Amino acid sequence: MPKFISWPRVFCLTAACCALFGCGKVNDQATSLESSGKHPGNWLTGHRPAYRQNPDQCRECHGRDLKGGISKVDCFNQAGLGQCHAGGHGPRNVPHQLPFKDGTIHGPVAKADLTYCQICHGTAGGPGSNPRFDVPLGSLKNGCEDCHDPFTAHLIVEGFSSGWPGHTTAGNMGNSCTLCHGIDLTGGVGPGCNTCHTALPPTTVPTPGTCVSCHAKPPASGNHTIHNALSGVTNVCSTCHNGAGSGTAKHNNGTADVAFVVAYNAKSGTATRNSNSSCSNVSCHGGVTTPAWGGILANGCFSCHTAGTTQYNSYNSGQHTRHIITVGLQCADCHDMTVTVGGARHFSGLGTPAFELAPSATIRVPGYPSCNPGTFPTTGTYSVGVCHVSETWR
């Protein structure tokens, strides 16, 4: 009489064959397995997209809970060699593209919010904790510190005042920056923000572009207030500090770097700052060398206007030379610089050679109608004296 194998024995034999030769029909045909039944050599990186594409193929061998199954390889703790997934969690979809090592790819993300990286790559901790970003993860044996120096979650640029030129546009400053720079931003592993931002109160995050965490806007020194009030120049620091604005290597380097934009070059040459703090070849000053930075005389018109030159704002018409050089009058004896017409006034449009306000509109000489082509009131005090009763300007 023939002998039959019982169903329990058939099941055991089938299970044994699966263990020896494969993990089921799905994985037997999976491209993630070589002919030997093993994963390829680059599986550390390759398993990520494979899992995202079809998580169930991993469960065939590693179990429904991915803690071993018939493969005896725990996805939480690979073969007892240590964690592969940060925080001890199992496989999951990575919240960013892979690979992600290239600084041009992960840099903008980290800059936008460093706490986003801390979730997987950094040790736990809030403000003032100064966490390491050294969590081993995947191909990162020492975490972010494979590339970054310990305790430096961002690049350090030698010679740059802040150490990191991108800090002015970093995101989530109130949480990200405090991780290393201290709970009140006065220092931790990283320096205190008030090391450079000397006027910054504790716990306050600098506001990019406002300038007030270091100095007034405009700075109180010299003629900043006078220049900042000029049309087209107000709060445009790059007019005279071109290339030295917030976020550049020249900003807060201990030197007041002065460089003028091309629009302010005079006809005589390139606008420059001199060693005695005066400026030369600035179109606003008619190409005339200015007084040293710090003050302009009450009647300082001649620091911008001069006769006999071909600068934009030199006087060459009519009897200017006779009145100024021969007679010795000041410009304000005949011109009222407080006049405004259609929003235009003296110093309007300093970057152009055109007159936004006609000089004739500023003439006010009480008692001399032929010298008053404008229609403005003739009130005020003038030192013109009685020179002539009537004379035609020519």
Which residues, 6+ apart, have CB-to-CB distance to 371 below 8 Å? 334, 363, 365, 391, 393
d(CA 128, CA 175): 10
pLDDT of residue 81: 53
Q: What is the DSSP letter of 322?
A: I
Q: Which residues are CB-neighbours of 121 under 8 A, at least 6 positions away?
A: 86, 133, 135, 137, 140, 143, 144
Who's near 335: CB < 8 A, 6+ residues apart? 359, 362, 363, 364
For the record, the structure tokens of 108 come out as 């903008």
What distance in Å separates the CA atoms of residue 80 and residue 111, rounded to the nearest whole number? 35
The encoded tokens of residue 3 equal: 């002998």
Nearest partner of 23 among 63, 53, 74, judged by Cα:
63
Query: What is the separation, in whole angstroms, between the first and last Cα of the chain?
Result: 141
Planar angle of CA 119, 113, 213, nearest 5 degrees: 135
Note the pLDDT tens digit of each residue in 28-62: 445 567 777 778 877 766 776 777 778 788 888 88
Q: What is the pLDDT of residue 279?
A: 93
Report how many helices (DSSP H) and strands (DSSP E) the chain contains, helices first. Answer: 10, 4
Question: What pLDDT score does 91 carry?
Answer: 65
Planar angle of CA 191, 194, 200, nearest 5 degrees: 150
pTM for this one?
0.53
Residue 271: per-residue pLDDT: 95
The answer to whether residues 37 and 29 touch, using CB atoms and an 8 Å cutoff, is no
Alpha-carbon gap, residue 36 to 232, rounded angstroms: 75
Series of mean pLDDT values for 10-residue runs along the chain (394 residues)? 42 37 45 71 72 80 84 69 58 76 87 85 80 81 85 67 70 84 83 83 78 84 87 87 82 85 90 93 88 72 78 79 79 81 81 79 62 42 47 62
